[in-house]
Every structure is written in structure tokens, then in C-alpha cells.
Amino acid sequence: MSQSTLYKVRTTVIEMLTDRGYRMDPNINFEDFKIMYSQNNMDLQDKDSKIHIFFYNETKSLSKKDLEVYYNQATGDSANPDIGILIIVRDKLNSIVNRELDKELYHNIEIFTIDQLKINITKYNGIPKHIPLSAEQEAEMLARYGIVKNQIPKVRSSDPICRYFHLKHGRIIRVIRNSPTSGEAVSYRCVI
């Protein structure tokens, strides 16, 4: 994997976590990144130690043992087992690791492939603006329209935008599209 690709991925990860509300240090320049890459020191964490980001840069697939090592590394010294863990891998996971991720112990682990993070999809020209609503905003919107969540069009939690914002079942997203007639068209989606 080229250094420039990994630098783009690192930039997207920092933007994504900032959009989720984490306090992240700004990205470094490419020359400093090359030094970090040569020292195999690309892992990140937010300023409040609420999430740890690991770049799995091995040619072999991520294993159950690797998963356990990352989990222990992130939560080992902490009294908080709910620290977020983000692992970036080269290829899709094998079925053994996917089954392992279904365990409650690993509920706080997210896995992305490098290909999924090469670009920031929220900045892609063809994607409308997505805004996750807070619980208060959700209640206000539902009351304003006199509807309940199951009446809102659905979007899967596996959708790239939902994964970007780490949206779980039941969350509502405001979608703002450009419209030639009204300027903006606003709609809502409920995550399933």
C-alpha cells in the first residue's frame, strides 16, 4: 500500500472522528507522515482517550489474536471497557473474525478497509449533506410532523454514511439535497 494512500486514509479518519464529535489533533503534513510510516507509528487516539485508531498494516488477514491484542492495548489500563476502537485493515475480514466481532466483548470495535476510507464520502460531490439528529432534535421533528420513527424512510446501519457517523439502530438523519425548484429538499431517514 502506498504511503500517499495511507496518508489520505489517515486524513479521512481524522475528519470522520472530528465529525463524530471527538477532539482530534489536526493532520500532520505528508513529510512527517512518511517518517511515522517508516517507524511503523501510524496509530492515533483522540485528545480525551475515548477512541483508539489502529492501522493494521500486515499483509496477512487480521486474526482473532490481533483483535484481542488491539482490544487489550486500548482498554488494558482503563477502567472504561467502552473505549472506542477503530481498526483499519487492507482487506475484508474473514468469517472467523466477523463471528468474533459479534461477541458483546467487542461491541465497541469498528473495522474499516483502506478502500472504504480513501475518500471522505461526506465531501464527495454526488452525496447529499447528512446531519445526524440529537435525541432532542429527533423528538422535535417527530412532533412537528406528527409521526413516529417507523413511518420515516429507512436506511441500513451498514450504509457508508451511517458507518461514517457510527449511527446505530433507531437514530434519525436529516438529508439535505440540492433541488432545482426549491433550492434545498430536506428529508429524513431512520437507521435500521
**pLDDT for the residue 20:** 93
For 3-119, CATH gives: 3.40.1340.10
Q: What is the pTM of this model?
A: 0.85
Q: Per-residue pLDDT for the chain (192 aa), expressed as one digit of tens each?
A: 688 899 999 999 999 999 999 999 888 889 888 888 888 788 888 988 899 999 998 888 899 999 999 998 888 766 666 789 999 999 888 888 988 898 888 888 999 999 999 999 999 888 899 999 999 999 999 999 999 999 999 999 999 999 999 999 999 999 999 888 878 899 999 999
- Any idea which architecture 122-191 has in CATH? Alpha-Beta Complex (3.90)
Residue ranges matching CATH 3.40.1340.10 in the chain: 3-119
Kindly report the three-state secondary structure assignment for every residue of 56-113.
CCCCCCCCHHHHHHHHHHHHCCCCCCCCEEEEEECCCCCHHHHHHHCCHHHCCEEEEE
**pLDDT for the residue 125:** 81
